[in-house]
Amino acid sequence: HGNDMSHLGWLDMRTQAGQEYWLAMNLAGKFASANHRVIHKNVGKATGFDVLGVVENHHNFAWVERLADGREVYVHRKGATPAGAGVLGVIPGTMGDVGYVVRGLGNTASINSASHGAGRRMSRNEAFKKITKTQRDAYLKEQGVTLLGGGLDEAPQAYKDINEVINAQSELVEVIARFKPRIVMMTDDPRDV
């Protein structure tokens, strides 16, 4: 289609429907954030650890931002996380691999964005066909990770190497810390029988 975007769906933000969508999206974001805080507080209480700080990986969300040329635009980050100058973020690996706490460098060429994770090596459907529970669980055991829940579509083998992904983003973020998952609780998939 070239530059013709007439095949895409649009929601005019100057309409009532657009404003209702904006309010609903932001309410959902605040609800998710509040849930995460409750989860962290309860996990801290159960383990005896204090929550020292909170860094969110807000992605698949939209913001109003000012571009370098002064224009105010809506930025929707599907599969991306904010990486404005000084903005803290989390770029996780997989349920079995390291993740990173990063600080954004404010690269305007990427619209102040970085990846929000390792990225898929295979689709969810392909993962169900090619990865067995035995393979996933053997990898997690080798990495010292206890799995409480999560489908084969989220198996580590379905994702790219997080270290390569992080190295490719050196102009977008600086790494502050690495972390290693020890316990993973994700949603099970009904196809994961």
CA atoms within 13 A on the CB side of 170: 4
Tokens matching residue 118: 């390792």
CB crowding 22-43: b at 16 or more within 10 Å, else e:
eeeeeeebeeeeeeeeeeeeee
Distance CA 181, CA 2 (A): 43
Closest to 93 measured CA to CA, from 35, 157, 150: 157
Q: From the candidates 1, 36, 58, 116, which is the catalytic residue?
A: 116
3-class SS at 72?
A: strand
Which residue carries 């309860």 as its tokens? 42
Please confirm, yes or no, whether 116 is among the known catalytic residues.
Answer: yes
Enzyme catalytic residues: 116
